[in-house]
Amino acid sequence: MSPTPLASAALQQFICGAGMGLGRKDDSQVVKVYERITGVPVGGSGSGSGGGKTAASEEVEKGVKKNVTVIGIGAMGGGIARSILSCEEVCTVVGYDRSEELMENFHKEAIAVGKGASTTALPTELDQAVTKKTNVVVIVLVNEAQCEDVCFGGGGKGTNLLTCLQEGSCVILCSTVSATWTRKACKQFQSKGILFVDSPISGGPARAKTGDLSMFVSGDDSSLRAAMPILKSAGRHEEVHIIEGGAGMGSTVKMVHQLLAGVHIACAAEALALAAKAGVDVEQMYDIVNGAAGASWMFTDRGKRMVGSTEPEVKSALSIFVKDLDIVYSEAKALQSPIPIASVALQQFINGVGLGLAMKDDSQVVKVYESVTNIPVGKWS
C-alpha cells in the first residue's frame, strides 16, 4: 500500500472530463473541466504578447544616478544586491538586513567597487538605510508579514518605507506575496507619490548572484521606466517578463508558477515513493523518467536530491511551499477557481512540517511518503 493523493485527485479530473464527453478528445482538453467551473476560457484567447514587452518597459530614465537600498540580503536578496552593483545607472547600493554579518560583508563589497554608502557605519534602523537620497528600494523579504512591517509598520517608532521615502522614489517588490496584498501596497505608496513595481522572482540563489533571474514584472509605465535599469541588472533580459494589467499581475503570475512548482515537487516524491514501494530501483526510475515524457524541470532537479545518497543541502526550505501554496489556495478561493491537485500538494507540505521537516530542503517532502510506506527513497534515509 503506497499513498497517491495527487494522482487520485488528477484521476478525478480526468473522470470529470470523460463525463463531459471528452473521452475521445486530446488529453490536454482536461482543461475544459476547469473552464466549465470558472466560466473563463483558457485556449484561443490570442493574447500572446511575445514576452509581454511594452514600449514603456523598454524605456529607461536617463541622466539620473540611482541610490538603491536592498532590504533583505539573504540568499536571494544578497545576490540581487551584488548584481545591482554592476549597474551603470546606480551610484550607491545599501544592503539592509537583520543580520549584521550579512550587512557588513555586503558593505565591504560595495565600498570595494566604489558604490558603498558615504558613511562607514552600518545601518541599525530602517531610516538609516533609507534616507532622503534613496530613490529606489528593492524588497526581498520572506513573507507578507515582513513586507507589511517594513512598508507600513514600524511599531511605536512609526519608521517604515511609507514615511522614509521621498515623493518620486520607487519601490520594487521582489517577495512572493499575494496579489491582493500587492495591490493594497501599491495604492498606499501611490497615495504618497511613490512609484511601485510588482516584480516577484524565480531562479534560486545561484542565478541571483549572476543577474540571471526570471522576473514577473507589473506596474504603471512611470514605475516601469524608473525600475528598468535595476530589473535588467538583476534579471536575464529575455526573462524580465512585463505583465500587463498593473501591479498585482506579476504576483498573480508568480502564484500560478508556484502552483506548478509545488505540485511537481510533490508529484515527484509521490512517484518515486511508489516506485520504491513496488521494488523498482529508484535511481533507474529517475533516469528513465528524465528521458521520457513524464519529466519536468522540478522532477529533474528535486528528484535527484530525493534519490541521493546524502542528505541534500537546503536550497529552498520546505516551509516556503507551505507559504506559497497557501497563497495559491487563498487567491484561488477568492477567485472561485478550483485547485484540487494543488490543495492536496499543500497538505503534503503541511504534513512535512508536522514531521519536523520545515527547514529541510523542499525535496524532503518525499519523507511524508516514506513515513507511510516504510520504504526509503533516498539511500541516506
Active site residues per annotation: 254
Task: Assess contact for 139 and 164: CB atoms under 8 A.
Answer: no
Bridge partners, residue 102, by sequence: none
Which cell numbers hold the place of 336?
472561485
Strands 201-202 and 213-217: antiparallel
- Angle of helix 5-19 versus helix 31-38 axis, rounded to 10: 70
Terminus-to-terminus CA distance in the chain, angstroms?
20
Spatial neighbors of 248 by CB under 8 A, at least 6 apart, are 179, 180, 182, 183, 186, 198, 218
Spatial neighbors of 358 by CB under 8 A, at least 6 apart, are 317, 318, 319, 322, 352
Q: Using CA atoms, how far apart are residues 181 and 188, in angstroms rounded to an integer?
A: 11
Amino acid at 203: G
DSSP assignment of 315-373: SSBHHHHHHHHHHHHHHHHHHT---HHHHHHHHHHHHHHHTT-TTSBGGGGHHHHHHHH
Spatial neighbors of 270 by CB under 8 A, at least 6 apart, are 3, 4, 5, 6, 7, 348, 369
Bridge partners, residue 216, by sequence: 241
Strands 235-242 and 201-202: unpaired
Amino acid at 295: A
Residue 220: name the closest of 252, 180, 193, 254 by CA: 193
Which cell numbers hold the place of 8?
487520485
| Residue corresponding to grid cell 533571474 | 213
